A and B are shown apart, each in its own frame.
Chain A
């Protein structure tokens, strides 16, 4: 039924948005694309798998994943961004982070192969739940949506209303002026990479939770959509990323309802082409380099 597919679309759209927010934060701050971001999503699932295999409970695996993926952000910043100032152009960081992403992916594949692996998640979260407007919503989807919403609101509050957020917005717009105001620019950039990567990590956990398995494919799929959603929403605009993520998720749900599920991957790219033609700055973008909450 349509309501059920729309509800699914909202949940998936929220996940798209979470991944897109990581791209958006880094892009708004540095005007650079972090192509390693998607593989942090993949990494998260496998870190959880390893943690559980080593005897950690599912609950303990969650903070472990957040810490490991957050730290991976520091590594990405150090290897693929720190050394390359704007003088080298933006393509060097893009290429370097692309290579780093593939390294992460291939290391995971070497160890665990390309086939999906099951996570021991209690099946009740899939089979029981609540009903909204006649549409059955299992606990897993409610939890995913709830966590996504909390993270989005949290990010909005941090970027829009805290000292770190002010510093992030200042560095995103004018790093030299920010430095003259006493802001430790490198530190702020590191914070952003940690936050963006930890968001990717939580997204990876939530994605794994949807089907109860981890797969090395998910990072690439979500990274592609995340980039498209960032572009549709407006580069650097956090609300734009959330809006575009939800719109694409819902559009996919509707497409699936009408038997056009196979078309849904084409849809996002067509929408991106159309939006860029009509509004190159994206739905909510201001056409400037900046981070907006």
Chain B
């Protein structure tokens, strides 16, 4: 069952169509990667999926209903968590308050304390820094915090935009390990990445985006084999 489906979607900033006629879907429990070069329209696509940018044409369905007319905050409360490029952490709030914000919009009966224990068990570093401003964390720690919000928030669909951008190889490994855990826990994940090799390794399926259009799709592992095709579309790595 698809938790997210885009049909012939066009997304535009004024007269500029950054995404043109994309059709794709994300099934429940699936991880789908969208890969493409800089400027291919990946981030625009994500902005469309979370309701920040209304499609100029085509339709999007999320969480079993049309996206049209639903605000991003309503979608977030319904279980669509978008971790944007730049992570979307609130730098003026401390680590604990950032997690509280994410928890409070989708609270559980177990309570915040229990939810936070799971986060701290997974990311001991965040426990050490729980009373520090998010803005004072390193880039890697901020990405940990951004991902940790998904642990307390338990979204049905997680959209992640360039989570490895600007991180050290060590931290990139940590990000993908975390996403793998989310995947194994049954979360439906849509991942936009420039790190094609790692993204395709993680994803069940992937779409290659080039100049706003989907030019290739397939199983993650199969696409990963087609290095020459990928290089033609993505530019050399």
A residues with CB within 8 A of B? 163, 166-167, 169-170, 172-174, 176-185, 288, 290, 292
Contact = CB atoms under 8 A, between A and B. Distances in A.
A166 B93 contact: yes
Given A166-B93, A173-B92, A288-B92, A182 B73 contact: yes
Interface string B57-90: 0000000000000011110110001101000111
A177 B88 contact: yes
A181 B50 CA distance: 11
Contacts of B101: 166-167, 170, 181, 183
A182 B84 contact: no
Given A177-B84, A179-B72, A182-B73, A292 B92 contact: yes
Given A177-B84, A183-B101, A185-B73, A170 B93 contact: yes
B165 to A, nearest CB: 16
Contact of B93 (A169, A179, A184): A169
A169 B52 contact: no
B113 to A, nearest CB: 15
The 4 residue pairs across chains A and B that have the minimum distance between CB atoms: A182-B105, A182-B76, A177-B88, A182-B77
B102 interface: yes
18 contacts: A166-B100, A166-B101, A166-B104, A167-B101, A170-B101, A172-B92, A177-B84, A177-B89, A180-B72, A180-B73, A180-B81, A180-B88, A181-B76, A181-B101, A181-B102, A182-B106, A183-B73, A184-B71
Contacts of A167: 101
A181 B150 CA distance: 10
B73 A179 contact: yes
Contacts of A292: 92
A156 to B, nearest CB: 15
Contacts of B50: 180
Nearest to B76: A182
Contact of B90 (A163, A173, A184, A185): A173
Interface in B15-46: none
Which of A163, A172, A176, A181 counts the most chain B CB atoms within 10 A? A181
Contacts of B90: 169-170, 173-174, 177-178
A204 to B, nearest CB: 31
B84 A180 contact: yes
B105 A181 contact: yes
A180 B77 contact: no
B80 to A, nearest CB: 9
Interface string B102-126: 1011100000000000000000000
Contacts of B82: 180
B170 to A, nearest CB: 26
B71 A166 contact: no
B153 to A, nearest CB: 8
Contact of A179 (B71, B91, B97): B71
Nearest to A236: B92
A79 to B, nearest CB: 22
B97 A166 contact: yes
B136 to A, nearest CB: 12
Contacts of A177: 84, 88-90
A181 B104 CA distance: 10
A169 B72 CA distance: 19
Contacts of B72: 179-180
A178 B72 CA distance: 10
Nearest to B102: A181
Nearest to B82: A180
Nearest to A174: B90
Contact of B73 (A166, A172, A184): A184
A183 B71 CA distance: 10
